[in-house]
Amino acid sequence: MNELILFLAGSAVIVWWSRKPLSKPGSHGFYRFFAWEAILGLIVMNREVWGSDPLSPHQMASWILMMSSIALVAIGVATLQRDGAPDTQRDDGSFYEFEKTTQLVSHGIFAYIRHPMYASLLALAWGVFFQNPNLPGTAIALVASVALWLTATTDEKECLAYFGQEYADYMLRTKRFIPFLF
């Protein structure tokens, strides 16, 4: 019962944060909502064992992934805010302020991966999963991964529509989530 209450309370917050993207089905933020919900499900499901065996291989992997998640989102958002020339005029009704970039950012972390924030969420999802790896958690982490893949590919279509050939060229030079691999 406590898990259900926690999940519903967390979902209420996520729905509120996602109210604009949810009103735009097919936008990148629409799919991101489902990734956030899956991650919340993993957090609630694994909350009782969180850190219970911190030196076990699976929890050490978890901590590495979650620390990577923090670094990826911090570096990515800071770079976009500093160099992306965010402008409130670029708004399709589903963007957060830092996403309203008017200049393509292709340096720093963005020289290696196109989506550090979504890579951050992938690392978070699998990091939370590795707190207590199990079959239901695997299914939920896979749902989060698919939702984030849909988020990224949709975001790429939106960026191609806004930035045009410059973004197409950028896509040829970078990977989606993991430098040099994927």
Q: Is residue 38 part of a domain?
A: no
Residue 14: inside a domain = no
Q: What type of residue is 96?
A: Y
Rounded CA-CA distance 131/47 in Å is 9
The per-residue pLDDT string of the chain (182 residues; one tens digit each, 9 = 90 and over) reads 799 999 999 999 999 999 999 999 999 999 999 999 999 999 999 999 988 888 999 999 999 999 999 999 999 999 988 888 877 777 666 677 777 788 999 999 999 999 999 999 999 999 999 999 999 999 999 999 999 999 999 999 999 999 999 999 999 999 999 988 87
Counted domains in the chain: 1
Q: Residue 134: give the domain boundaries.
A: 55-182
Q: Is residue 84 part of a domain?
A: yes
pLDDT tens for each residue of 110-140 = 999 999 999 999 999 999 999 999 999 999 9
Residue 30, domain member (yes or no): no
Q: For the chain, what's the residue count? A: 182
* Domain presence at residue 98: yes
90: left (phi over 0), alpha (psi -120 to 50) or beta: beta
Instruction: Report yes or no on 23 lying in a domain.
Output: no
Q: Is residue 35 in some structural domain?
A: no
What are the CA-CA distances from residue 58 to residues 64, 119, 126, 131 (Å)? 10, 20, 11, 7
User: Residue 128 domain-assigned?
Assistant: yes
